[in-house]
């Protein structure tokens, strides 16, 4: 099943630590889980700020606009995010501070509960049609540039830049677009 989520339908809310704003795109909660099992969201970072802590979770983080930032983890590790549309994966339970490199930015975040889901992310630069094998997995999509058509067993949906979609247990999905780019997050249930 393919589900379209228009940019206008994304739910605005504060970060868990109250230090920023995010828009929930989609989430899933396993029966009996205390929190979400996975969550896909867009966020705005306006200033240097600590990130929220999510015990037992992992994150795929990707800047989608802005001049870059540095993520300074407790213990001294620094992740330099100086390009847009490059996914970075890290644990959410290590405290970190974000230092902007020249103004606000927007980013995508795909959170997964460690040991329940595992995420892999990529950016497809489209100039035609590609086929994705999505058997027995879930996937999230975010149109970064241009117009993208996703087709599956349940029909086709069209995403404009800023729109998103969720695929649940599709066998095969085709992705088509010209001069378009698409974030693809694959969620494997463990």
Q: Is the pLDDT assigned to residue 170 strictly greater than 80?
A: no
Give 169's pLDDT tier (boundaries 50, 70, 90): confident
pLDDT at 164 (0 to 100) = 98
- Fold assignment, 118-189: Jelly Rolls (2.60.120)
132 vs 171, residue with greater confidence: 132
Q: Is the pLDDT assigned to residue 107 strictly greater than 90?
A: yes
Q: In the chain, which segments carry CATH 2.60.120.10?
A: 10-115, 118-189
Give 136's pLDDT tier (boundaries 50, 70, 90): confident
Average pLDDT of every residue of the chain = 94
Architecture of domain 10-115: Sandwich (2.60)
CA 53, distance to chain mean position in Å, is 17
Give 168's pLDDT tier (boundaries 50, 70, 90): confident
Asked if 101 contacts 45 with a C-beta cutoff of 8 angstroms, the reply is no
Q: Is the pLDDT assigned to residue 33 strictly greater than 80?
A: no
Give 51's pLDDT tier (boundaries 50, 70, 90): very high
Q: Is the pLDDT assigned to residue 154 strictly greater than 80?
A: no
Mean pLDDT, range 80-93, rounded to an integer: 97
What is the per-residue burial (b if ≥16 Cβ within 10 Å, else e) of 11-32?
A: eeeebeeeebebbbbbbbeeee
């Amino acid at each position: 099943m393919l589900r379209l989520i228009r940019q206008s339908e994304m739910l605005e809310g504060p970060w868990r630590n109250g230090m920023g704003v995010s828009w929930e795109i989609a989430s899933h909660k396993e029966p009996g889980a205390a929190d979400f099992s996975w969550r896909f969201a867009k966020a705005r970072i306006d200033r240097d700020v600590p990130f929220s802590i999510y015990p037992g979770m992992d994150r795929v983080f990707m800047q989608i606009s802005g001049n870059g930032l540095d993520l300074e983890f407790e213990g001294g590790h620094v992740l330099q995010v100086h390009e847009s549309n490059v996914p970075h994966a890290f644990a959410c339970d290590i405290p970190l501070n974000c230092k902007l490199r020249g103004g606000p930015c927007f980013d995508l975040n795909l959170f997964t509960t460690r040991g329940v889901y595992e995420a892999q992310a990529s950016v497809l630069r489209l100039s035609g049609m590609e086929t994705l094998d999505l058997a027995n997995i879930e996937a999230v999509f975010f149109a970064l540039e241009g117009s993208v058509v996703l087709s599956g067993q349940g029909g086709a949906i069209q995403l404009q830049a800023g729109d998103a979609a969720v695929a649940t247990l599709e066998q095969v999905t085709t992705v088509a677009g010209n001069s378009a780019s698409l974030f693809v997050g694959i969620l494997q249930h463990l």
